[in-house]
A and B are shown apart, each in its own frame.
Chain A
Amino acid sequence: MADTAVHTGEGTGRAARPGLLNRIFLHNLSGKIAAIPMMATVLIVFIGCTIWTIYFSFTNSRLLPTGKFVGFDQYERLFATSRWNVSVTNLITYGVFSLVFTLGLGFLLAVLMDQKIRFESAFRTIMLYPFALSFIVTGLVWQWIMNPTLGLQGTMRNLGWEGFTFDWIANPRMVLFALLIAGLWQGVGFCMVLMLAGLRGVDEEIWKAARVDGIPTWRTYISVVLPMMRGVLVTAVVLIGSGIVRLYDLVVALTNGGPGISSEVPAKYVYNYMFSGGNIGQGLAAATMMLLTVLIIMVPWAYLEFGGRGRR
């Protein structure tokens, strides 16, 4: 790898081959020094902290991470805790809906935006601005809109529509959809922008060919254009997916896990056990399960992107 790069041996010259020590430490010294922050981040944070977290998730640490090794105890307790199980179910439910609707609406809006419409930049500005806002702001605005007494429901009832009900935020069965409305509001515009870039990257010739063959436009989108946008789609799925696993701020701002524990999510479970519950081992076990989830999402992606390249 290094030999095919621009040759930048620092001072060593090509005549005399440098010794082993030289090659490891002194060769291209400036480059190595410059990369120290990156190497330190990789070694200490991404590798070191991950191993640390996994290791201490097998201990019975409570207020401080000093407990003794207890095998899978924390994990058994984790999966015996209803709050954790509710969190996982919530995340799966929210995740499936969020992924489907973000991709679906993002694609639909991108297709609509791709019709050579007037005011395109105005529409794009309107759809994307929520993405600039934080999840805290997003959560608090929608909390206000969905406030059962003074928000949308109260307004409609005051206007004489007595039976109007929109109390999802206070309804344990519907609260995840309240989260979804706010989450989609924040994220769909971004997905639309990605998809629009993908659509614009599709060759005009494809459209001409499809028209010549008399294929209906919607068929062309589904069977020809969508498969051609595979790269953009994979990027979108991975980004949305890793965002879903991290879901935290939005829940804190919108529902704070309530009503009851009906909108708890794993990231919040981890935080609460580590920083306010004083049960670090349990928090670390939950964090390790989150890590495992991401690996399950990432490994097929990495395989498709890097491992499966030979098949095409």
Chain B
Amino acid sequence: MSGSAPTTTPIAGVEPRGPRPRPFFTPKKIMLYTTLVFFSLYFLFPLYVMLVTSFKTMPEIRFGNIFAFPGQINFDAWVKAWTSACTGLTCEGLSPGFWNSVKITIPSTIVSIFIAAVNGYALVNWRFKGSEIFFAILIFGSFIPYQVFLYPLVMITRELGIFGTLQAVIVVHTIFGMPILTLLFRNYFASLPVELFKAARVDGAGFWRIFFEIMLPMSLPIFVVALILQVTGIWNDFLFGVVFAGTQNLPMTVQLNNIVNSAQGTPEYNVNMAATVLTGLVPLIIYFVSGKLFVRGVAAGAVKG
């Protein structure tokens, strides 16, 4: 593995050793690319299988070759997955779940990002005694398994009269999005020059004016990162949806699982796979459109504490 430290400037009088113009097909290179291609096939295989299965008809699937390309591209399974597949008791397809997920994701994302931005701003610029301790517990708490909080939160949301509604799911997502997002914003605001803040203070600007007129306009990059993190995270959630949403408001992931893993009838694999692709579509689109920003988002999400 020689590529990582190329000798760029040869020291005067010393000839660089080894063959200089390396041919592309060295055994090492072949090994390297073979390994990478092998792993790429492992990563791509399920996506391929999902797609081809969703375009097949059931007789074609029973014929039994999951690799095979569909003889004729057939959209019936997609239509059925969207409009009439049975999820438990109702047979309306995934579309209600899709809209529930939208109704959950949009407010949860907006509310949690706004709260976290204000939290982070207060933590950096308006510190008070004890704020660091609260923050430390917040970050530490984000590692505790959700199962520990689940039942007490059911009781609290029941007391508030929102259990079994979309509001309950939104509140829970806002709560559990707080640690990572607050950390993100705190670190970002801490990296901004403090002179800006001081100058605004001298000019008599207050808490909210500084936030809205100075801090927010400067923090677009971190907002995008937070947005990606939250939208994909909330869209992909299963546990909170299944516990807090109530049977009428199930998000798409829960509906999908109900379609595929319901016991009655012969499973329609093409419909199942079309439904699976449909559910994965939103995060996949975000992933491909945002490109490097997604990587930055998950990396920022990873660096806790």
Contact = CB atoms under 8 A, between A and B. Distances in A.
Given A131-B298, A150-B61, A1 B43 contact: no
A134 B126 contact: no
Classify the interface of chain B: helix, strand, loop or mixed.
helix
B280 A133 contact: yes
Interface residues of B, number: 102
A158 B64 contact: yes
Interface string B248-283: 000001101100110000000100110010011001
B2 A1 contact: no
Contacts of A223: none
Nearest to A27: B128
A45 B154 CA distance: 11
A284 B151 CA distance: 8
B25 interface: no
B134 A38 contact: yes
Interface string A30-69: 1110110111011011111110110010000000010000
Nearest to B278: A137
A274 B155 CA distance: 12
Contacts of A12: none
A73 B138 CA distance: 32
A107 interface: no
B223 interface: no
Contact of A37 (B61, B131, B178): B178
Contacts of A125: 288
A217 B237 CA distance: 42
A194 B129 contact: no
A140 B257 contact: yes
A31 B305 contact: no
A309 B105 CA distance: 40
A272 to B, nearest CB: 11
Nearest to A250: B238
Contacts of A42: 134, 137-138, 141
Given A140-B256, A141-B50, A143-B260, A194 B3 contact: no
A152 interface: yes
Interface string B21-50: 000000000001101100110111111011
Contacts of A126: 40, 43-44
Interface string A180-198: 0000010001100110010
B145 A246 contact: yes
A248 interface: yes
Contact of B62 (A109, A150, A284): A150
Contacts of A189: 43
B36 A34 contact: no
Interface stretch (B72-80, B83-91, B114-122, B162-170): B114-122
B138 A38 contact: yes
A144 B149 CA distance: 33
B126 A34 contact: yes
B78 to A, nearest CB: 16
Interface string A131-147: 11111111011111101
Interface stretch (A74-82, A96-104, A169-177, A204-212): A204-212
Contacts of A44: 156
Contacts of B148: 49-50, 53, 287-288, 290-291
A137 B276 CA distance: 6
A144 B128 contact: no
A179 interface: no
B114 to A, nearest CB: 10
A145 B144 CA distance: 33
A78 B109 CA distance: 38
A224 to B, nearest CB: 12
Contacts of B65: 155, 158-159
For the complex of A and B, the 3 pairs showing the least CB-CB separation, nearest first, are A31-B126, A134-B236, A46-B141
20 contacts: A30-B207, A35-B122, A35-B134, A38-B134, A44-B156, A46-B141, A116-B3, A117-B33, A132-B287, A134-B238, A137-B256, A141-B46, A141-B276, A144-B53, A145-B45, A190-B302, A194-B302, A197-B299, A211-B5, A238-B143
Given A132-B283, A136-B257, 4 more contacts: A32-B122, A45-B153, A150-B66, A193-B298
